[in-house]
């Protein structure tokens, strides 16, 4: 794997990105990991639309390609899963200003996925137009608060 | 070449900025028959298009609907160099300004906030009192629509609210128990969010949650749906996508209008008899510093040297409590549950002066929760799913809004290199959190722990200083009596230039320990009232006559 050229991911990059996603958000219950779910394409697509997120993705992928252990092994995908996690942890430490928005993007794409939302019990979809039901305010709850004498500080 | 307005297009009042305060002034002066023009660099928003109805709404909060202009990077935004500040300034450029994405939590400042020098020996007293401002708070409440309930013992009595309080939610009720066990103050927040339908075609809140992304049902007040429709109906000319480049003055230094770039990038001039700056606590000093002239070599109305100095934020600390069972803490507006002002006033036993408000805050959606929202992300890797499941919908937060006293080394200046999309210099922020503010926040953190534990929290996490917390931009063209120690007088009129007024957060002498927008709007209405009563020479004869007739 070589550093991304001109900010565009190669097919090899995409394969690596899928592995990265699996390390970041592994499988749970009947849900595969984020990479195995095929979210790498969506991460790339969403990043392409935003300068900051695109920069974060490219910087993270470039950092992975330059990681010495991955380089020695013949690429990030060739590393054992534990070593992949270590490589990502190192990148998180070394370029937090890039890794953090990259992780935010990955989380966001993952938690937009219908199967994920079903798994966590988020059945509403977007919060509008339905919103949520909340009971109207009941003044009875103020019975104690109303007992208190005024305590604001007078000035005159 | 600058295209100049014709004689009959000379505005009585030219307002720069269509946000919280500019809208209030535009409405008030148009009601009084003034010919008003407003220049706004943003656009009209369409509530039906707000992103909370879209599948990718949580992504949009991270991109083109971010609170942070440096992240959002819309064409109408300008960058802010905040590398030398631990707090990032937040703002929105549109008709409605930052009221598009505020939470509309609207407590008032206290009487003591206007007398901090007399009471506590710090900063300066204001040249007016709470009670001078009270009628304008009331007027603003009526125009914006306030949900709440009278009887709060932490505040002076006030007029009945337009609507009952918003529902507390199960999470809110749980936290109330914590305050009550400790015997500490809590009270339903005054909020400019409709608990029942109020205003023109404005529905009741449906408790969707992330009202910071705009409110599709128009339950949350923003000035594009409150003041502006009335102002426009009164004849105010509101020109959007117009970026002001400088305030112009004549040889005597009197303001004559403003140069601006229109939506096509053409340089134009709007002539005016008076100018009102309403571009927020960063945008206004930026524009004043960009408006140097022979008459005002240090910047517009800057003979005191105080334009851009004494920047105040409200530094936020956030304390989140994790509860063992789901309390569905995504249900309801994110920042309008209730507040506590138990520790608002100075306590001589403590090692700091002034105080703070607790604003109770909620989680929002799953992605926002995973990203960490306000207290750091859920860890990635093998522990991710357990960490998510054990916290989503189970946490509620306490935001500590601490009073941040003015210090002249906290500044807005013009960046020497960074520019906006029109090649105009970007503002640079230099800000250091003071020892007093740090101690105040630490006290708030410790007391918040007690509340959350009393309410049954099984874990408490702390963000001691929220970086993305610079919602409140204040103090950079402060109000005062002494022209050498302030920029404007009690009416927002600059000491140096008779026909230039400032009405945004820049003019606050101190910031109090509350969200400041209702105070800023009340000050704006008071300034407009002064102009209408005392500066009738600004008003066009024909219109004045028509009004008289």
What DSSP string describes A40-107?
HHHHHHHHHT-HHHHHHHHHHHHHHHH-HHHHHHTSGGGS-HHHHHHHHHHHHHH-HHHHHHHHHHHH
Q: Which of the two residues, A102 and A156, has the higher pLDDT score?
A: A102
Determine the distance in angstroms separating the CA of A31 from the nearest CA of chain B, rounded to an integer. Answer: 11
B210·A126 Cβ contact <8 A: no
- Least Cα distance to B362 among B406, B325, B330 occurs for B330
User: B239 and chain A: CB distance < 8 Å anywhere?
Assistant: no
Cis peptide before A129 (omega within 30 of 0): yes
Sequence-distant (6+) residues with CB within 8 A of A74 are none
Between helix A40-48 and helix A96-110 the angle, nearest 10°, is 120
User: B59 and chain A: CB distance < 8 Å anywhere?
Assistant: yes
A53·B62 Cβ contact <8 A: yes
Quote the pLDDT of residue B548: 44
User: B54 and chain A: CB distance < 8 Å anywhere?
Assistant: yes
- In a mutagenesis test of the B interface, which of A128, A130, A139, A156 is the best target, namely the one with the most B β-carbons within 10 Å? A128
The DSSP bridge partners found for residue B361 are B397
Which residue in chain B has the smallest CA separation from A86? Answer: B381
A117·B366 Cβ contact <8 A: yes
Q: Looking at B119-249, which runs of residues are DSSP E strands?
A: 187-188, 237-239, 243-249
Quote the pLDDT of residue A133: 95
Instruction: Round the CA-based radius of gyration of chain B to a whole number and report it.
Output: 23
Quote the pLDDT of residue B549: 43
A151·B54 Cβ contact <8 A: no
A53·B216 Cβ contact <8 A: no
Cα B99 from chain centroid (whole Å): 7
- Least Cα distance to B523 among B315, B299, B276, B307 occurs for B276
Sequence-distant (6+) residues with CB within 8 A of B442 are B317, B464
Report pTM: 0.95
Which residue in chain A has the smallest CA separation from B326? Answer: A121
Which residue in chain A has the smallest CA separation from B74? Answer: A50
Q: What are the angstrom distances between the C-alpha of B174 and each of B269, B318, B334, B457, B483?
A: 57, 18, 16, 10, 51
| Strands B255-261, B267-271: pairing kind | antiparallel
Sign of the C-alpha dihedral, residues A13, A27, A115, A56?
negative
3-class state of residue B449 by DSSP: helix
Cβ count near B431 (within 10 Å): 22
Determine the distance in angstroms separating the CA of B445 from the nearest CA of chain A, rounded to an integer. Answer: 22
Across B476-504, b (16+ Cβ under 10 Å) vs e yields bbbbbeeeeebbbbbbbbbbbbebbbbbb
Q: Report the distance separating Cα B163 and Cα B545, nearest Å.
A: 38
Give the containing element (helix H, strand E) for B21: helix B20-31
Q: Name the band, by pLDDT with cuts 50, 70 and 90, for residue A7.
A: low
The dihedral formed by the CA atoms of B399, A92, A99 and A12, expressed in degrees to the nearest 10: -150
Phi, psi of B399 (to 5 degrees): -95, 130
Quote the pLDDT of residue A71: 72
Q: Report the distance separating Cα B69 and Cα B541, nearest Å.
A: 42
Q: Report the distance separating Cα B104 and Cα B335, nearest Å.
A: 8
User: B126 and chain A: CB distance < 8 Å anywhere?
Assistant: no
**How far separated are the first and last CA of chain A, in Å rounded?**
74
Q: What is the pLDDT of residues A74-86, one digit of tens each?
A: 789 999 999 999 9
Cβ count near B454 (within 10 Å): 17
Q: Report the distance separating Cα A92 and Cα A23, nearest Å.
A: 13
ipTM: 0.93
Determine the distance in angstroms separating the CA of A58 from the nearest CA of chain B, rounded to an integer. Answer: 17
Quote the pLDDT of residue B546: 47
Quote the pLDDT of residue B265: 96
Give the containing element (helix H, strand E) for B175: helix B169-182
Could you please report the per-residue DSSP string of B97-150? GGGGTS--B-PPPPGGGG-HHHHHSSS---SS-HHHHHHHHHHHHHHH--B--S
Q: Report the distance separating Cα A7 and Cα A57, nearest Å.
A: 9
Q: Report the distance separating Cα A143 and Cα A153, nearest Å.
A: 23
Sequence-distant (6+) residues with CB within 8 A of B219 are B193, B194, B202, B203, B204, B205, B206, B211
Q: What is the pLDDT of residues A61-76, one digit of tens each?
A: 999 888 776 777 778 9
- Least Cα distance to B254 among B309, B307, B305, B294 occurs for B294
Chain A residues lying within 8 Å of B176, measured CB to CB: 141
Quote the pLDDT of residue A3: 57
Which parts of chain B have pLDDT scores under 70?
A: 1-8, 373-375, 541-549
Q: Is the pLDDT of residue A37 over 70?
A: yes
A137·B130 Cβ contact <8 A: no
Determine the distance in angstroms separating the CA of B549 from the nearest CA of chain A, rounded to an integer. Answer: 43
Q: Report the distance separating Cα B500 and Cα B521, nearest Å.
A: 18
- Least Cα distance to A121 among B169, B215, B330 occurs for B330
B52·A151 Cβ contact <8 A: no
Q: What angle do CA B416, B421, B426 make, to 5 degrees?
A: 30
Could you please report the per-residue DSSP string of B368-404? HHHHTTTS-PPPPSTTHHHHHHTTTTSEEEEEEEE--
Chain A residues lying within 8 Å of B56, measured CB to CB: 112
Determine the distance in angstroms separating the CA of A136 from the nearest CA of chain B, rounded to an integer. Answer: 5
Tally: H helices and E strands in chain A: 7, 0
Chain B residues lying within 8 Å of A105, measured CB to CB: 59, 62
Q: Report the distance separating Cα B39 and Cα B22, nearest Å.
A: 10
* Cβ(B63)–Cβ(B211) below 8 Å: no
Nearest residue, CB atoms, B164 vs list A116, A137, A151:
A137
Contact pairs from chain A to chain B, CB under 8 Å = 184
């Amino acid at each position: 794997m070589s550093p991304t050229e001109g900010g565009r991911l190669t097919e090899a990059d995409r394969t690596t990105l899928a592995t990265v996603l699996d390390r970041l958000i592994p499988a749970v219950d009947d849900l595969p990991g984020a990479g195995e779910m095929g979210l790498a394409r969506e991460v790339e697509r969403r990043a392409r639309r935003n300068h900051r997120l695109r920069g974060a993705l490219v910087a993270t992928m470039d950092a992975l390609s330059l990681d010495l252990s991955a380089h020695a092994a013949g690429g990030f995908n060739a590393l054992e899963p534990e070593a992949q996690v270590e490589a990502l942890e190192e990148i998180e430490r070394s370029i937090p200003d890039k890794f953090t928005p990259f992780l935010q993007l990955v989380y966001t794409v993952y938690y937009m996925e219908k199967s994920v939302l079903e798994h966590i019990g988020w059945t509403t979809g977007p919060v509008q137009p339905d919103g949520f039901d909340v009971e109207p305010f009941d003044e009875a709850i103020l019975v104690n608060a109303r007992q208190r004498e005024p305590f604001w500080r007078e000035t005159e | 070449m600058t295209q100049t307005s014709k004689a009959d297009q000379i505005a009585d009042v030219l307002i720069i900025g269509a946000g919280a305060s500019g809208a209030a002034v535009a409405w008030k002066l148009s009601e009084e028959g003034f010919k008003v023009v407003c220049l706004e660099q943003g656009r009209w928003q369409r509530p039906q298009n707000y992103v909370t109805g879209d599948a990718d709404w949580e992504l949009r909060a991270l991109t083109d609907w971010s609170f942070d202009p440096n992240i959002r990077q819309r064409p109408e935004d300008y960058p802010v160099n905040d590398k030398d500040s631990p707090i990032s300034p937040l703002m929105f450029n549109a008709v409605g300004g930052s009221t598009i994405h505020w939470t509309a939590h609207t407590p008032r400042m206290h009487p003591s906030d206007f007398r901090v020098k007399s009471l506590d020996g710090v900063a300066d007293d204001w040249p007016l009192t709470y009670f001078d401002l009270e009628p304008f708070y009331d007027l603003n409440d009526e125009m914006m629509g306030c949900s709440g309930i009278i009887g709060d013992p932490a505040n002076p009595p006030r007029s009945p609210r337009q609507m009952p309080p918003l529902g507390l939610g199960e999470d809110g009720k749980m936290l109330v128990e914590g305050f009550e066990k400790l015997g500490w103050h809590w009270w339903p927040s005054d909020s400019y969010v409709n608990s029942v339908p109020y205003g023109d075609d404005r529905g009741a809140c449906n408790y969707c949650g992330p009202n910071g992304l705009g409110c599709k049902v128009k339950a949350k007040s923003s000035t594009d749906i409150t003041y502006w429709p009335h102002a426009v109906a009164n004849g105010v000319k509101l020109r959007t996508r117009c970026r002001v480049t400088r305030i112009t003055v004549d040889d005597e230094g009197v303001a004559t209008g403003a140069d601006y770039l229109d939506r096509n990038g053409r340089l134009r001039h709007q002539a005016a008899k008076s100018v009102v700056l309403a571009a927020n606590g960063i945008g206004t000093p930026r524009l004043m510093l960009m408006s140097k002239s022979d008459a005002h070599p240090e910047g517009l109305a800057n003979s005191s040297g105080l334009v851009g100095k004494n920047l105040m934020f409200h530094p936020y600390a956030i304390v989140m409590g994790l509860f063992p069972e789901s309390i569905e803490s995504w249900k309801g507006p994110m920042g309008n549950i209730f507040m506590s002002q138990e520790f608002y006033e100075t306590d001589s036993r403590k090692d700091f002066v002034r105080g703070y408000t607790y604003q109770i805050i909620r989680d929002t959606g799953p992605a926002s929760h995973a990203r960490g929202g306000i207290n750091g992300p859920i860890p990635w890797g093998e522990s991710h799913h357990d960490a998510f499941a054990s916290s989503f919908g189970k946490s509620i937060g306490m935001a500590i809004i601490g009073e941040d006293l003015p210090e002249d080394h906290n500044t807005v200046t013009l960046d020497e290199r960074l520019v906006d999309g029109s090649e105009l210099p970007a503002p640079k922020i230099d800000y250091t959190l003071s020892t007093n503010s740090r101690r105040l926040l630490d006290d708030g953190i410790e007391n918040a722990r007690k509340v959350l534990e009393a309410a049954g929290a099984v874990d408490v996490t702390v963000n001691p200083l929220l970086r993305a917390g610079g919602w409140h931009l204040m103090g950079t063209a402060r109000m005062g009596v002494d022209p050498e120690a302030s920029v404007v007088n009690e009416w927002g009129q600059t000491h140096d230039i008779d026909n230039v007024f400032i009405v945004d957060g820049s003019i606050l002498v101190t910031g109090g320990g509350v969200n400041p927008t209702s105070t800023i709007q009340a000050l704006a209405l008071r300034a407009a009232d002064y102009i209408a009563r005392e500066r009738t020479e600004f008003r066009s004869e024909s219109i004045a006559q028509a009004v008289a007739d």
